[in-house]
Structure 1
């Protein structure tokens, strides 16, 4: 135990034990008679009200990686790290345009995933498969990155080795397997309470101890002036990249499967409308989280082993007694477990509905679907742990940048498809291929350059694509995902126009106009089929009533 802060470790372990118990108890919370149905295991029975949905979506969108990586980026690059603040402000009006209509059509038609919607809307199993694969691939590194937050906390406490990390995710895997989406929904209450407590105390205590905000911003400005990198304001060449990165990240965020899974678990459209109005409160907290990076500069924080993700844990250790630092560390650790659980469930839903049932076992019963999803959720978590253990965490962060670029390529079929059926299924496939190729190429040619001009990484060096690579005489950069999405949209529209002009069959729309505005008590609404109707011989019981 040499070098380990026992007080911090005990508090973290006690709070982790608390959420572990809550994770297993969650199976009895809003209890269903049978969790062996994706509606129940994967979507919490589609019965979450305003408060539960608010905490669930907040726990889903504001992760441990956000808590440590955003301040770390501000610590190292200055103003560029604040892109996360405007993008989480912009995202909610965009999400409102998508999730309310998706909720209605999904409840009327029984969709569990966005790929289910694409399959029905465009009569295209191929495009649905691409949406499912894209969602799974983009989510995997995102799950792995939740472990970065836990690793940073363990380093700060002096705990060495990967065993605590593995144990934490084994326990997470078990209670997610047991309780499904109910587990992270219940734990999110504890996670968000701890995070808000930590941030409120931090923004009051730390500035007072460092001499006020003038001293904090002055120290940051002096550091960036001496190093020649970053700054407290954006340089002219980086402003376009900042704007497109914020907008592109906002568009990508609501396309991730875990975001849509949390939305589909809501009990009705009004719940989502209220949440789109209230969730910006998290963005207010995020602004203060970002400022922790400047506070760390003023406090003279030195990252552990050069790992920038440790600046917030080290800052808390310097500024607070061990007991409060332990609470803050628990907030970061639990902040990793909630989104990781939701992400693994979302990925499992995609595999089960859009790969297993569509291509491997078309006659799968509801019980078989649920069992496959539970097993896949375990595999996904194990893959995330393996990624962190065997891959350089910095490379995993780069993978997340790639994830944002590729998930954007589902925007035409998922988001635009909610409003129009004009896009041809062939055009959507062609646009996806073109956008994916353009995005990966833009990331491949992007270098990472040090302050002295030295090339630190030849390829996949970041998401800021230099317009000079297109032959333009400028130092301006732009978000690679934004470029890829433009290519996708152009190709989709052109190929759609060509196919429709040639009279190629666009397929049959499996939805109706009234589906997209259906309320829970709307006459067009119909309950989902009773899973027991297709259950194996000998199965008994009734479909749990909707609450």
Structure 2
């Protein structure tokens, strides 16, 4: 009953509403121009420095999925849930130079989205449209994951029932709050809120990793309790170590997730808001600090086993809030619930902005209103951000997953199909645009088909029950599993490569490239130096002519 959680509810409400008010205030924070322009509303004026970008990207990448979904997976399935730790370890050195190149070419050409880059690089509205649609569709389940995180906290406080209209009421409330301050303040809202969000999460985790082992008999006892649970459970659970059939899936899932992370449009939005190339480089070097926190958060799933915590209303997504509720004092449990809720507000806002920018720039302007003014584009993007959140809301209502992490994994399979055109396209223009379109179609079709084949007996899902497909379903005589996204993007690359060779041999037209090698190393300071040199030279020539 909610009356038994009155202290938690009050603390949660004060912090949650206070941070939401901060989101509305952000419309005036560090403004350099009118918000009736995508550069200002959608990219914060492209002026964020190192600290702001670090908190923004941290709030963007480490989401409610971090606090809710990863520990829930460890609690239910064991070691497989740790895949999130190696993938965040390898992602930053893997993509640092790619993201710096993306910043430079976007700065030089005024690009706002990854699809803008594809349009400029390949001069193909069709390929850019496919990248835009892919980004929007992949982002919706990711936004839904954030809303599920808020729902988990409210369920634990007794504010949500198991069925009926009340079950989805917290997501609707979250939708309204996020929609309102995102529409009002744009990217500045999540950038400002991210300071509070990260501070709360660090506070809760530091307290948790000290207090929980003390309360539960030490980390040794926590791991022993987790292993005992998994040994008593039937396969396919791993235990605290991976079983032989899941190791290949673990490796491909970690690598595939790392590649997918930098392809998401919200990651690009956070990167393009940076002031210069050095801001991006410093952030890629500093962001692994979050990976340590992620590893500690994941261990909360094992701590819940040792504490004999049970999910609220049989929903595994509630396992961490339920752990905090059972172990912490009521007031600190309220702080932890607020950290989960606020941890959902930041990324959900950034993701909706990124998806809205994709629609505006690469669908609305490209195909319906080529002469749309900057103010008109900003208005359309604001309205679209509302529709994107509504689409994410429907995603949660219609699919209703037991493990919210499935939402993110499905999105990862989808967004990976933009790797050849966006990720590899940052380095080479070798692929033929027609081959990239065919590769995208092959990878997307295969990926969705394989996801359809994946069951989840634990949740009675016959289809779309996860992202690990048994190779036996593909005709191989082995019980091993593999990440669907890895197989789908491999097929994408094979089709793109073979067709490029065929089309180039047949001399099929490929319309060139509007970028130049210099675009990929451009920087704001370099541009200013060049302009200053030109201005100085021009003034010197003018003075010489005047003297003569």
Decide whether the 8 Å contact of 2:140 with 2:395 is kept in 1: no
Q: Which moved further from structure 2: 393-402 or 431-440?
A: 393-402
Alpha carbons of 1:395 and 1:218: their partners in 2 closer, same or farther (altered >3 Å)?
Answer: closer
Give the match's secondary structure for 1:478. strand
Alpha carbons of 1:99 and 1:195: their partners in 2 closer, same or farther (altered >3 Å)?
Answer: same
Q: Could you tell me which of 205, 208, 212 is aligned with 1:202?
A: 208
Deviations 1:486-540 (A, max 9, x none): 100000000001111111111120101100011112249999xxxxxxxxxxxxx
Q: Which moved further from structure 2: 13-22 or 289-298?
A: 13-22
Deviations 1:69-117 (A, max 9, x none): 1000000111010000000111111220321000000000010000000
Decide whether the 8 Å contact of 1:438 with 1:484 is kept in 2: yes
1:2, CA displacement in angstroms? 4.9
Q: Which moved further from structure 2: 30-39 or 349-358?
A: 30-39
* 2:59 pairs with 1:59: yes
Alpha carbons of 1:525 and 1:374: their partners in 2 closer, same or farther (altered >3 Å)?
Answer: farther
Q: Which moved further from structure 2: 407-416 or 167-176?
A: 167-176
Written as runs of structure 1 = structure 2, the 5 A alignment for 1:81-480 is 81-160=81-160, 161=166, 162-228=168-234, 229-394=237-402, 398-449=406-457, 456-480=460-484
Decide whether the 8 Å contact of 2:150 with 2:170 is kept in 1: no
Q: Distance in 2 between matches of 1:415 and 1:503?
A: 25
Alpha carbons of 1:518 and 1:10: their partners in 2 closer, same or farther (altered >3 Å)?
Answer: same
Decide whether the 8 Å contact of 1:108 with 1:526 is kept in 2: no
Q: Distance in 1 between matches of 2:185 and 2:374?
A: 17
Q: Distance in 2 between matches of 1:435 and 1:195?
A: 37
TM-score where L is the length of structure 2: 0.93
Q: Distance in 1 between matches of 2:401 and 2:122?
A: 39
Q: Distance in 2 between matches of 1:18 and 1:54?
A: 22
RMSD: 1.6
Decide whether the 8 Å contact of 2:144 with 2:407 is kept in 1: no
Q: Distance in 1 between matches of 2:202 and 2:91?
A: 21
1:165, CA displacement in angstroms? 3.5
Residue 532 of structure 1 is matched in structure 2 by: none
1:288, CA displacement in angstroms? 0.3
Residue 540 of structure 1 is matched in structure 2 by: none
Alpha carbons of 1:4 and 1:347: their partners in 2 closer, same or farther (altered >3 Å)?
Answer: farther
More helix by share: 2
Decide whether the 8 Å contact of 2:96 with 2:281 is kept in 1: yes
Written as runs of structure 1 = structure 2, the 5 A alignment for 1:32-47 is 32-47=32-47
1:174, CA displacement in angstroms? 1.1
Alpha carbons of 1:392 and 1:272: their partners in 2 closer, same or farther (altered >3 Å)?
Answer: same
1:391, CA displacement in angstroms? 4.0
Decide whether the 8 Å contact of 1:115 with 1:131 is kept in 2: yes
Q: Distance in 1 between matches of 2:43 and 2:530?
A: 17
Q: Distance in 1 between matches of 2:102 and 2:442?
A: 26
Q: Distance in 2 between matches of 1:466 and 1:164?
A: 36
Deviations 1:442-479 (A, max 9, x none): 212223245xxxx9433222211222223222111110
Decide whether the 8 Å contact of 2:151 with 2:170 is kept in 1: no
1:352, CA displacement in angstroms? 0.2
Unaligned runs of 5+ in 2: 161-165, 532-548
Residue 488 of structure 1 is matched in structure 2 by: 492
1:169, CA displacement in angstroms? 2.3
Decide whether the 8 Å contact of 1:83 with 1:242 is kept in 2: yes
Deviations 1:214-237 (A, max 9, x none): 100110010000113330100011
Decide whether the 8 Å contact of 2:316 with 2:402 is kept in 1: no
Give the match's secondary structure for 1:394. coil
Q: Which moved further from structure 2: 461-470 or 49-58?
A: 461-470
TM-score where L is the length of structure 1: 0.93
Structure 1 stretches (4+) deviating beyond 4 angstroms? Answer: 524-527
Q: Which moved further from structure 2: 160-169 or 61-70?
A: 160-169
Q: Could you tell me which of 498, 501, 505 is aligned with 2:505?
A: 501
Give the match's secondary structure for 2:469. strand
Give the match's secondary structure for 1:5. helix
Alpha carbons of 1:2 and 1:217: their partners in 2 closer, same or farther (altered >3 Å)?
Answer: closer
Equivalent residue pairs, number: 523
1:316, CA displacement in angstroms? 0.5
